[in-house]
Amino acid sequence: MSVSSPEANGKEYKLHKETESFISAIKDNGSSGHANQTIEDIRNASERLVEMFGGDVFFDGKIKEFRVPSLACEGGIPVTAYIPKDRGPKPSVFVFFHGGAFIASSRQAADSICKIFSREAKCITVSVGYRLAPEHKFPACYDDAVSAVRWAAMNKGLLGASNDSTVGVGGQSAGANIAATVCHELPGISYQILACPKLDMKMDLKSYGEFEDGPIITRQSLEKSMSLFVDNEEDMSNVRCNPLHRPNFEGLPPALIIAAECDPIRDDAYEYSKKLKAAKVKTTLIVSKGACHLFFGLPGHFKESSEKAHLRVIDFIKNHSGRANLSLLT
């Protein structure tokens, strides 16, 4: 199967066989798109996708729940720490933010990939349950993220790491947006991993036109998510939710950016990579051919596509597990 792109003069993209079967499955299940759904419907559909396609991953280690103190979040920000049994004396602490267009999903939805990263990279993965819109609109998720990364950096021993352990951040889709913003706002982060990142609220890059009708998310569904996330145009243009439009990229941590070829937000990854490289930030961009937006977080279905991407993530974490930059603690 292929998809045609009128925005690219009729260019056709050949879908990966896993993408083809996924499209068929979600259409049959009624989980495709959310432009006309209620917030409850969107969240339920998100949970169904994880149940159907997330997979079951073996993990040898401890899984602990913590609450990050926060004046803005009653009871604290919930985080899940994956602490592998075989992790060495100075395991990296990898703080991860799930996707869900700022309005759906949860840290539990990222359970499979967090287990994979911790097990294979021998790192401690901290999955953050940041607050969601529309109950908690911009900038709640960013405030929670900054608090969670600071907490992780200051509580390495509690997490089973060393004072010398590096701290990296990462995320998928909206979670990658959050991770990118944290890198601009906190010094001392050792690396960033951005999977299918949503980095530009203007949505005027070419890929938004190429794939405005899918195959997995549409321009209409993205616009609905943004309307639930922000209150006004001023918030929509704020650089906190538009990392692509930050004025300065110098001094940011090394980046691994993963894009899906058949994804409306693909060009966000391309343009962000260009800006990082122009600022002399060590940056690696990989593109999963024929993949759709959700491939990275559903290893139960996207066995081939996600495994290739996850192996790059694992190597990247391993290569940045040296001595930490302690400025993050200040």
Q: CA 325 → CA 136, 168, 322, distances in Å? A: 32, 11, 10
Task: Please give the pLDDT value at position 326.
Answer: 56
**One-letter amino acid identity for 80?**
T
pLDDT for the residue 6: 45
Beta strands per DSSP E along 98-208: 124-128, 167-172, 191-195
User: What proportion of the chain, given as a percentage, has pLDDT over 70?
Assistant: 92
56 CB neighbour count, 10 Å cutoff: 9
Residue 2 in this model has a pLDDT that exceeds 70: no
Contact at 8 Å (CB) between 163 and 89? no
Lowest mean pLDDT among 4-18, 20-34, 60-74, 205-219: 4-18
Torsion of CA 212, 8, 171, 294, to 10 degrees: 60
| Domains of the chain, CATH where assigned | 2-322 (3.40.50.1820)
Dihedral-angle region of residue 279 (phi above 0 means left; psi in -120 to 50 means alpha; beta otherwise) = alpha
Radius of gyration of the chain from its Cα atoms, rounded to whole angstroms: 18
Q: What gap in Å lies between CA 145 and CA 126, rounded to an integer?
A: 11
Quick: pLDDT tens for 251-262. 999 999 999 999
Say how far apart CA 174 and CA 182 lie, in whole Å: 13
CB-based burial, 185-223: b 16+ in 10 Å, e otherwise: ebebbbbbbbbbbbbbbebebebbbbbbebbbbbbebbe
- pTM of the predicted model as reported, rounded to 2 decimal places: 0.95
The mean pLDDT value for 166-182 works out to 98
pLDDT for the residue 10: 47
User: Could you tell me if 260 and 291 are in contact, meaning their C-beta atoms sit under 8 angstroms apart?
Assistant: yes
Give the confidence band of 12 by pLDDT, cuts at 50, 70, 90: confident
* Burial of 136 (C-beta count, 10 Å sphere; 0-12/13-18/19+): middle
